[in-house]
Chain A
Amino acid sequence: MAHAPEPAPASGDLGDERPKWNNKAQYLLSCIGFAVGLGNIWRFPYLCQTYGGGAFLIPYVIALVFEGIPLFHVELAIGQRLRKGSIGVWTAISPYLSGLGLGCVTLSFLVSLYYNTILAWVLWYFLNSFQHPLPWSSCPPDLNRTGFVEECQGSSAVSYFWYRQTLNITADINDSGSIQWRLLICLAACWAVVYMCVIRGIETTGKAIYFTASFPYLVLTIFLIRGLTLPGATKGLIYLFTPKMQILQNPRVWLDAATQIFFSLSLAFGGHIAFASYNSPRNDCRKDAVVIALVNSMTSLYASIAVFSILGFKATNSYEHCLDRNILSLINEFDFPEQSISRDDYPAVLMHLTTTQPRRVARLPLKACHLEDFLDKSASGPGLAFIVFTEAVLHMPGAPGWAVLFFGMLFTLGLSSMFGNMEAIITPLLDKGVLPRWVPKEALTGLVCLACFLSATCFTLQSGNYWLEIFDNFAAPLNLLIFAFLEVVGVVYVYGMKRFCDDIAWMTGRRPGPYWWLTWRVISPLLLLTIFVAYVTLLAWKPLSYRAWNPQYELFPSRQEKLYPGWVRAACVLLSLLPVLWVPMAALAQLLTWRKRTWRDRQVRPDTDTH
C-alpha cells in the first residue's frame, strides 16, 4: 500500500470546528433514511409488477451496479474530502461549476415543498385512523338520508374520502378553489415536526434518525408476517414475482429501471454530500456507498413482498365479493334458497340458467369476475397508499390498528427523507455564511422551514394535487439527471481522476479499482446521457395532460384526461429549467468576473504582457 501524500487541507476548516456525527451508526442511518423513502414502498412494487415481475430485477441490478453505486460513491467521497455542502464543494472543484451547487439547493427546496405536503396527507390519514369504524369504510348518507351521497355511490367510499373529504379536489386545474384549512394545519404540524428534528442540524437529526429510520423496518416486518397469513397472499406474490422475460425487449423497462435506481438513491440532491461532509476525513466511504445502496435495494424488495401479499389478499377479497354479488343476483331473481349456490358451483349454474332462461339472465347486471383483473388493478404513488391500501386495510380484522401502523410507517419514512432534503439546503447555506455569525443556527433552520411552509401552502388549495403532480413530474427528474451528469463529469474531468483517486486512497487506504475507474470515466456518464435523451424524447412525444377527478364526467369514476392550459405549460417549463439555469448563469458570472479582473490587472501593469 503506497503511502499516499496528504492532500492540501480543505479551506475554511481552520478555525470554527465542523459538527460531527456522534457515531458511525448515525451517519449510516441518516444516509439510509434519506435514500429509503416513499418511493421504495409505492413505486418499486408497481414497477416490478408492471414490468414482468422477477424479470425486472435484471435491469434493476444492472442499473444499480453501473449507475447507482458509482454515482453514490462519488457524492460521498467529495463530500467527505472537501467537507462542505454542495455549494462549497462545487465552488472548490471549479468556480465555473458553482452553479451546480446552487441548482442542487434550489432543487432540494422545490422537492421539499411537495414532499412535505405528501407527508401532510399521510398525517391527516394517520389522525383519522384512531376511530372505529374507519371514516373511509362507508359513504356518508345524503341530505334526506334515503341513500348515499351520489359522488360516493358512483365511485367508492375510499375514493370519496380521498378526493372529496381530504383534498376536496376541483374538476380542473384552472379552478383553484379555496385553501383547505384541515390540510393547512396538517402541513403546519409537519413543518413543525421537521423543524423540531433539524433545528440544530445533525445534532438533532442524528438522535431523531434512530427512531425514524428503524420504525419503518419494524412495521414492514409486522405487515409482512400479517400479510403472509392472509388468504390470497400467495396468489399476489406469485403474480408479482413470476418472471415474464419477453418484456425485457421493451426499452421502456430499461429506462424505468435506470430512473428508479437513480431517484431511489436520492442522488444529485446534495443531501449525501452534506451528510458525508460531517464525517471524519478518514472514513471508508467506498464501503459505505456499497452498503447503503444495497440496503436501499433490499428494502425495496422487502417492501414489495409485504405490499404484494396485502394486495393479493385484497384482490382475492374483491374477486370473492364479485362472485358473491353475482350469486346473489341469481338467487334473488330466481328465488332459490339462500346460500344454495356456492362459489365453485356458480359457473355451472350460470351456464345451466343461460341455456334454459336466457332472457331473464340477460337482464341481470352480472359482471365478469377474473382474479387476474383484480390483481392487475395495481397503482403506484399516492393512489397505492391512499386508495388501494386503505381499502385493503378495511378488510383486515382490527383495521384501525393496521391503518395507524401503516400511516405511521409512511410518515417516518418520509420524515427521514425530509432530513436529507433539509440538510441539502441548510448545510450549504451555513457554509456560505448567508446570515451573520451571531445569528444562531436555530434561527436559520427556522427561517428555512418557515419559507418552505409558506411556499407550500399553494398545495393546500383545492387544485393542489394537480400542482403536486406537476412538481413531481417536471421539477425533479430532468434536473436531477443533468446535475448527476455534471457531477460525474465535473469530478472526473475537471477535478481530475488522478487527484480524486489519490484523495480516495488517502481517505480509505486503497486506490479505486478498475471497476470504479471504468464506470466513472465511461459507463455512468454515457448511461446518464442516454437516459436523459430518452426521457426528453418521451416527454416531447406525449402531450402534456393530466387526469382530473370530475363527478360530472360521463365515464365517472374514470378520471377525465385533460390538457394543461398554456400558462400551466409555461409553469412546467419554468420548473424544469429554473434549477438548471443556475449552472450557465454562475459560469457566466464567473467568466465576467475573471474578465474584469484580468482587464483590471492589465490596466495596472500595462506593458508587462506577452499579448
Chain B
Amino acid sequence: MLWLLFFLVTAIHAELCQPGAENAFKVRLSIRTALGDKAYAWDTNEEYLFKAMVAFSMRKVPNREATEISHVLLCNVTQRVSFWFVVIDPSKNHTLPAVEVQSAIRKNRNRINNAFSLNDQTLEFLKIPSTLAPPTDPSVPIWIIIFGVIFCIVIVAITLLILSGIRQRRRKNKEPSGVDDTEDKCENMITIENGIPCDPLDMKGGHINEAFMTEDERLTPL
C-alpha cells in the first residue's frame, strides 16, 4: 500500500514538474564561465542547496512560512547545467502561482547568487528579470571636480599673464624713450634688418635671441 502511495506521489510530482509546465521556471547555471578552475561539479548536494534556497525565499513570503524543502521539485537536469523547478503547496497537489515565486526569488536574488558564488548573469532564472543595480552616482560627479581644478588653474594663469603684461608696460613707459641711437649702430650690421635693436641687452623683454641672429649671419653673402 505504501509503495502504491509512493508511486502515486512521484507520478503526481512528475506531472507537476515538467519543462514548460504551468508555474514552472527554467534555471540555467554557467559555473565554469564564472569560476574557471575553481568550478564545482553540479551534483545532488548542490540541488539540495538550491531547493533549500528556494524554500528559504518562499518562507519569507507572508502566508508561505510553512514551505519545506520537499515542496520544491526539480526536474530535467541537463549537462548544461539547466533544470526546471516548481514549488508546490503543502497539500501537494498544485503548484504555487508563478507571480508569488517570481517576486520571492527577486527579493532574495542576492542571497541565492551568493550561496552559489555566482551572479545574475551566470545564474539565470529565465522569465524572472533581475533588478539592475542602481547607477552609483556620487553626489558630485567626478568630471565636475576635475573641470573645476583645470578651470581655476587656467583663470589664475590668465590673471598672472595679464598682470605681468601690465607691469611690463608700466616699466617700459617709465624708461626714457632713449633708444634713438640704435639707428647709428644698425648701419654696421648686415643689410636691412628692419627694426632690430642692435643692442641685445636692452629691455625688449627677451624677444631677440643672439644665437638665432648669428645663424642668419652665416647666410650673409658679404
- List residues of A whose CB falls within 8 A of some B CB: 1, 3-4, 6, 9-10, 13-24, 83, 124, 127-128, 130-131, 140-141, 145-148, 185-186, 189, 192-193, 195-196, 199-200, 203-204, 280-284, 331-332, 335-339, 440-442, 508-509
Contact = CB atoms under 8 A, between A and B. Distances in A.
B193 A200 contact: no
Contacts of B132: 141, 145-148
Interface in B131-189: 131-135, 142-143, 146-147, 150-151, 154-155, 157-158, 161-162, 165-166, 169
Contacts of A441: 165
A130 B219 contact: no
B80 A196 contact: no
B197 A338 contact: no
Contacts of A186: 147
Contacts of B135: 140-141
A162 B206 CA distance: 46
Given A140-B135, A337-B79, A6 B191 contact: yes
Given A141-B134, A147-B129, A1 B195 contact: no
A22 B195 CA distance: 16
A172 B148 CA distance: 33
B131 to A, nearest CB: 5
B2 interface: no
A566 to B, nearest CB: 39
B129 A339 contact: no
Contact of B79 (A147, A282, A284, A335): A335
Interface in B18-75: 28, 30-33
B89 to A, nearest CB: 28
6 contacts: A10-B194, A145-B131, A199-B158, A282-B219, A335-B82, A338-B81
B207 interface: yes
A594 B131 CA distance: 81
Given A24-B212, A127-B143, A337-B79, A146 B158 contact: no
A186 B161 CA distance: 22
A280 B150 contact: no
Nearest to A142: B132
Given A17-B195, A200-B165, A440-B165, A280 B209 contact: no
B128 to A, nearest CB: 10
A22 B212 CA distance: 8
B91 interface: no
B5 interface: no
B111 interface: no
Q: Which 9 A-B pairs have the closest CB atoms?
A: A13-B194, A335-B78, A127-B143, A141-B132, A17-B195, A335-B80, A337-B79, A282-B216, A338-B32
Interface of B: 28, 30-33, 78-82, 129-135, 142-143, 146-147, 150-151, 154-155, 157-158, 161-162, 165-166, 169, 190-197, 204-209, 211-213, 215-216, 219-221
A283 B215 CA distance: 9
A440 B172 CA distance: 13
A337 B146 CA distance: 49
B197 A17 contact: yes
Given A15-B195, A280-B213, A331 B165 contact: no
B216 A280 contact: yes
A128 B143 contact: yes
Nearest to A8: B192
Nearest to A441: B165
A9 B186 CA distance: 14
B197 to A, nearest CB: 6
Contacts of A17: 195-197, 204, 207
Nearest to B29: A338
Nearest to B197: A17
B192 A6 contact: yes
A28 to B, nearest CB: 12
A192 B151 contact: yes
Given A19-B207, A280-B212, A440-B166, 4 more contacts: A24-B212, A24-B215, A281-B193, A337-B80
Contact of A130 (B32, B142, B158, B206): B142
Nearest to B132: A141
Contact of A204 (B81, B161, B206): B161
B195 A332 contact: no
B146 A192 contact: no
A442 B161 contact: yes
Given A19-B207, A130-B146, A189-B151, A195 B195 contact: no
A503 to B, nearest CB: 13
Contacts of A9: 192, 194
Contacts of A338: 30-33, 80-81
Q: Of residues A4, A196, A284, A331, which shows the largest number of chain B Cβ atoms within 10 Å of its Cβ?
A: A196
Given A141-B135, A338-B80, A131 B142 contact: yes
- Most chain A beta carbons < 10 A, residue from B165, B190, B205, B212: B212
Contacts of A130: 142-143, 146
A282 B166 CA distance: 33
- Most B CB contacts (10 A, CB to CB) among A127, A195, A441 go to A127
A3 B221 CA distance: 7
B146 A16 contact: no
A185 B147 contact: yes
Contact of A14 (B195, B197, B204): B195
Given A335-B80, A338-B31, A440-B165, A16 B195 contact: yes
B28 A332 contact: yes
A196 B154 contact: yes
Contacts of B143: 124, 127-128, 130-131
Contacts of B204: 17
A411 to B, nearest CB: 11
